């Protein structure tokens, strides 16, 4: 019996980016798209072109570099969304427009304020317009999980007639149980037959995203929309790595299907996404969590030592986690070895980025004897800020606060290249640092969240600090990451990183001038 392909549609760069705090810049998205291509995903949903000029630019650049995977843009069933999507993906070797409209009674009545007939008309217009630009058009019935099955059949018939090749049935609010998804897919499969590919997109609000996707495959879905590390809106989407490994490990059950995923790229991809977004998978996360292969109890350790399969259902090597590879370069390693290792980790930096990452690597290697893969990933990602002419931390000096007032002296290079030094006090050392940065940059940030974690092991491990700062109470808070062996330095860098992102998103970076402090 010939096997059928399960198309893996990755939406880490679109739905995944909708995770609170997961926004990525264009350069980061390009690195991720290239890694997703190496992983073997069939379709990369690179963003939502009409959402912002930044989204458009990222999709367009990804369309220029990705060759093997299909590059897709999301578009509401609106003329402008579809034309923007078409323009953004234009350079791609393989391209798709993914258009959608809500089909559940609650969404049609309260959100769209449209009748079911009007919704069908809009959907058909959208698909017909998209077909003028690309052959590969996907149509999604948003909130299919709460839609009437008869209506799903009617709208699917209409959009297939207009040219849609894939019908996606998202459980947008993650409310369905596996048997219910299985039933919906079986009915739709019977109705649609071979006229279009049936796809699912399961959110994880009840923790059932992966189970629902697996059940959908059993009942005939042949495209799965998913994200790395399960990122996504609210509780996230079904995790790519869990679905793919379930199909692989349980090939006894799924002998009739296959995916194009190179599972050895799962772990490197997961680490890259965690490093770029600052969102670590929970330690006990299936497949890629830090503890996924940690055997803690004596009985388990004894069993694994005697025969691995006693407690391991697949080997770490199958997902590209090679323990012997994790301890890598040291202070005597050269530029070529450094570049080679970064490429193996999935990063291709330009000459300037490489030089700056290498200098930082040498500085780190002076202080830290063993440098691990995660250290390098952190160095590489903190090097692809994508922001030119940013504020840059030059020096930080903290006054001894024992019994006194916590204070900090900060030197910052301004976007115009000049340097400013100023000092300030605060309720604690971090407060003093942030307040002084505010004074130099003439801003006022409100710290919403502060996280510090060590990147790898060892007493002198790199500290990775993530801050979430609101620079304007009417706008969403922005995220900044900072990296250093010194936690305070990492904190100052993270705060400046958040400020740089905030100003750059508004095109304000180059216009700013110092308001206080002395230029040196
Ligand atoms: O969850 C959802 O319904 C979506 C669609 C836009 C596919 O993300
Ligand atoms: Zn979604």
The per-residue pLDDT for range 9-24, each reduced to its tens digit, is 999 999 999 887 777 8
Which ligand 1 atom is nearest residue 170's CA? 3
Supply the pLDDT for residue 514: 42
The values of phi and psi at residue 200, to 5°, are: -125, 160
Is the pLDDT at 328 greater than 80, yes or no?
no
How far away, in angstroms, is 470 Cα from ligand 2 center?
26
Cβ contacts of 394-397, under 8 Å, gap ≥ 24 = 394/419, 395/421, 396/433, 396/488, 396/489, 396/492
How far away, in angstroms, is 67 Cα from ligand 2 center?
25
Ligand 1 in reach of 172 Cβ (< 6 A): yes
How far away, in angstroms, is 123 Cα from ligand 1 center?
15
Mean pLDDT of the 205-216 span: 98
For all residues of the chain together, what is the average pLDDT? Answer: 90
Mean pLDDT of the 497-516 span: 68
Which ligand 1 atom is nearest residue 143's CA? 3
By the CB criterion, residues less than 5 angstroms from ion ligand 2 are 15
Antiparallel, parallel or unpaired: β 223-226 and 419-425: unpaired
The values of phi and psi at residue 64, to 5°, are: -80, -25
Which ligand 1 atom is nearest residue 140's CA? 7
Ligand 1, pocket-test mutation among 170, 173, 209, 237, most atoms within 8 A of CB: 170
Share of the chain above pLDDT 90, in %: 63
Supply the pLDDT for residue 453: 84
400 pLDDT tier (thresholds 50, 70, 90): low
Three-state secondary-structure class, residue 445? coil
State the ligand closest to the CA atom of 144.
1
Is the pLDDT at 121 greater than 70, yes or no?
yes
* Alpha helices (H) along 278-371: 298-306, 335-344, 351-367
For the chain, which domains are there?
4-277 (3.20.20.70), 293-323 (no CATH), 326-381 (no CATH), 392-505 (3.30.160.270)
323 pLDDT tier (thresholds 50, 70, 90): low
Residue nearest to atom 1 of ligand 1 (CA): 172
Residue nearest to atom 5 of ligand 1 (CA): 142
The CA radius of gyration of the chain, in Å to the nearest whole number, is 25
Ligand 1 in reach of 377 Cβ (< 6 A): no
285 pLDDT tier (thresholds 50, 70, 90): very high
Determine the Cα–Cα distance for residues 297 and 295; give it in Å rounded to an integer: 6
Higher pLDDT, residue 5 or 329: 5
pTM here is 0.86
Partnered with residue 454 across adjacent β-strands are 463
How far away, in angstroms, is 102 Cα from ligand 1 center?
9
Q: What tens digit of pLDDT does each residue of 348-364 get?
A: 888 888 888 888 888 88
């Amino acid at each position: 019996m010939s096997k059928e392909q399960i198309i893996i549609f990755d939406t880490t760069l679109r739905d995944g980016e909708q995770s609170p705090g997961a926004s990525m810049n264009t350069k980061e998205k390009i690195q991720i798209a290239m890694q997703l291509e190496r992983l073997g995903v069939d379709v990369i949903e690179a963003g939502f072109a009409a959402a912002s000029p930044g989204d458009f630019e990222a999709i367009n650049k990804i369309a220029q570099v990705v060759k093997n995977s299909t590059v897709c843009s999301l578009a509401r069933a609106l003329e402008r969304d579809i034309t923007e999507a078409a323009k953004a993906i234009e350079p791609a070797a393989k391209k798709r427009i993914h258009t959608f409209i809500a089909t559940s009674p609650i969404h049609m009545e309260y959100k769209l304020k449209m009748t079911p007939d009007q919704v069908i008309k809009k959907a058909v217009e959208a698909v017909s317009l998209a077909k003028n630009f690309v052959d590969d058009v996907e149509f999604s019935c948003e909130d299919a999980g709460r839609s009437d099955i008869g209506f799903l059949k009617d709208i699917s018939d209409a959009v297939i007639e207009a040219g849609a090749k894939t019908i996606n049935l998202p459980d947008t609010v993650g409310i369905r149980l596996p048997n219910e998804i299985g039933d919906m897919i079986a009915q739709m499969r019977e109705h649609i037959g071979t006229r279009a590919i049936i796809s699912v997109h399961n959110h994880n609000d009840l923790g059932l995203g992966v189970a629902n996707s697996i059940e959908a495959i059993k009942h005939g879905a042949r495209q799965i929309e998913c994200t790395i590390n399960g990122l996504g809106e609210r509780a996230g989407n079904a995790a790519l790595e869990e679905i793919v490994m379930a199909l692989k490990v349980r090939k006894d059950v799924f002998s009739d299907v296959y995916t194009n995923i190179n599972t050895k790229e799962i772990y490197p991809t997961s680490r890259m996404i965690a490093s770029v977004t600052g969102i670590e998978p929970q330690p006990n996360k299936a497949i890629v969590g830090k503890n996924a292969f940690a055997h803690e109890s004596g009985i388990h350790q004894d069993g694994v030592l005697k025969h691995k399969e006693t407690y391991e259902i697949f080997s770490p090597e199958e997902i590209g986690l090679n323990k012997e590879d994790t301890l890598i370069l040291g202070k005597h390693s050269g530029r070529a070895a450094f570049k080679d290792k970064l490429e193996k980790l999935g990063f291709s930096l330009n000459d300037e980025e490489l030089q700056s990452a290498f200098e930082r690597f040498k500085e780190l290697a002076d202080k830290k004897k063993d440098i691990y893969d995660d250290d390098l990933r952190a160095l590489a990602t903190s090097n692809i800020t994508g922001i030119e002419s940013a504020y840059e931390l030059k020096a930080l000096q903290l006054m001894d606060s024992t019994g006194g007032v916590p204070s900090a002296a900060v030197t910052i290079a301004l976007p115009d290249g000049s340097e400013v030094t100023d000092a300030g006090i605060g309720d604690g050392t971090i407060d003093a640092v942030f307040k002084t940065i505010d004074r130099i940059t003439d801003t006022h940030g409100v710290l919403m969240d502060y996280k510090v974690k060590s990147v790898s092991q060892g007493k002198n491990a790199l500290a990775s600090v993530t801050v979430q700062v609101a620079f304007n109470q009417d706008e969403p808070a922005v995220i900044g990451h900072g990296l250093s062996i010194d936690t305070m330095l990492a904190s100052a860098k993270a705060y400046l990183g958040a400020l740089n992102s905030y100003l750059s998103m508004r095109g304000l970076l180059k216009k700013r001038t110092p308001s206080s402090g002395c230029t040196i």
